[in-house]
Amino acid sequence: MAASLFDLTGKTALVTGATRGIGQAMAIALAEAGADVILIKGFSSDTTTRLAIEQAGRKCHSYQCNLGDKAAVASLIAAVTAEHKDISILVNAAGIQRRCEAENFPQEAYEEIMQVNLGATFTICRDMGKYWIENGMRGCKIINVASLCTFFGSVKIPAYSVSKGGVGQLTKALSNEWAAKGINVNAIAPGYVATDINRDTVSGDPAYLKSITDRIPVGHWGKPDDFKGPAVFLASEASSYISGEILTVRYGYPTSMSDRHELSWDFCMLSLLTTKQN
């Protein structure tokens, strides 16, 4: 009975940023739980995600879209839903980052990061939500990828911090409007995870890398597969009474925000274990 709460058989998920890192792990997890997956990708020719989804026995479709192009993003959902009318799960995992002192941060880089991380997320959420509402679809799920920077501004990544703060507030604002319309909107805020985007930004600063690792109680960074469980949880019926939350997956890494305002993955796991025991 409890296991069936996590079954996504018959569902279709739309995932951005799924060609690598956390987005890739989440897309594969949804397929492993039974969902067909539509990938929104840039210009990467990497087929790893597609192959993993197909090996899980699920269908995989892909659409090319430059999330930094406002016009392309504005037409994306209309194009996708014209061919796939049963999408009920949306995952916004695409994101970019640039590390630079605030006083020297390039305006062009700031605008690009804001568009990809926040602007595209808003537009895709808006258009997907509108499609669901206009077609009377309920039980739909949105999962945005936020960050620990949603709660505090980290050094040398001002644009990224602003964009992820916006993703957190967008998640809560949409939940306030759409929960009553049958759309659950939540976010996952990763801690420090060994992905390309993080390795690229801290590889030249070993002292900074060590200072982060020393603050993680388990003593090492997370890995993309650590997000498979949280993704399936928030995409499934197991989270049907959860909306407007930012689920932190950080293995105890401290934030400056009170835990009473966060949905801890430890709590979610405790709830799952209790359900299984009962």
Asked, for residue 144, whether it belongs to a domain, the answer is yes
Asked, for residue 145, whether it belongs to a domain, the answer is yes
Reported as a single tens digit per residue, the pLDDT across 182-227 is 999 999 999 888 777 666 555 667 877 777 777 777 777 789 999 9
Reported as a single tens digit per residue, the pLDDT across 106-119 is 999 999 999 999 99
CA distances (Å), origin 6, targets 36, 230, 231, 233, 272: 15, 11, 10, 6, 11
Asked, for residue 158, whether it belongs to a domain, the answer is yes
What are the structure tokens assigned to 33, written together? 């739980």
Asked, for residue 278, whether it belongs to a domain, the answer is no
238 and 268 Cβ atoms separated by less than 8 Å: no
Strand partners, 87: 12
212-217, long-range: CB within 8 Å, 24+ apart, which pairs?
A: 215/253, 215/254, 216/191, 216/192, 216/250, 216/251, 216/252, 216/253, 217/251, 217/252, 217/253
Asked, for residue 108, whether it belongs to a domain, the answer is yes
User: Which residue is catalytic, options 131, 160, 208, 253?
Assistant: 160
196 — phi, psi (to 5°)?
-60, -40
Domain membership of residue 223 as a residue range: 3-273
- Is 160 catalytic? The answer is yes
Angle at 82 between CA 84 and CA 175, to 5 degrees: 70
34 — phi, psi (to 5°)?
120, -5
Asked, for residue 65, whether it belongs to a domain, the answer is yes
76-83 and 120-134 helices cross at what angle (nearest 10)?
A: 40
The number of folded domains in the chain is: 1
Give the contacts of 242 (CB within 8 A, at least 6 positions apart): 184, 186, 234, 263
- Can you give the CATH number for the domain in which 232 is found? 3.40.50.720
Which ranges of the chain have pLDDT less than 50?
257-263, 266-267, 269-271, 273-278
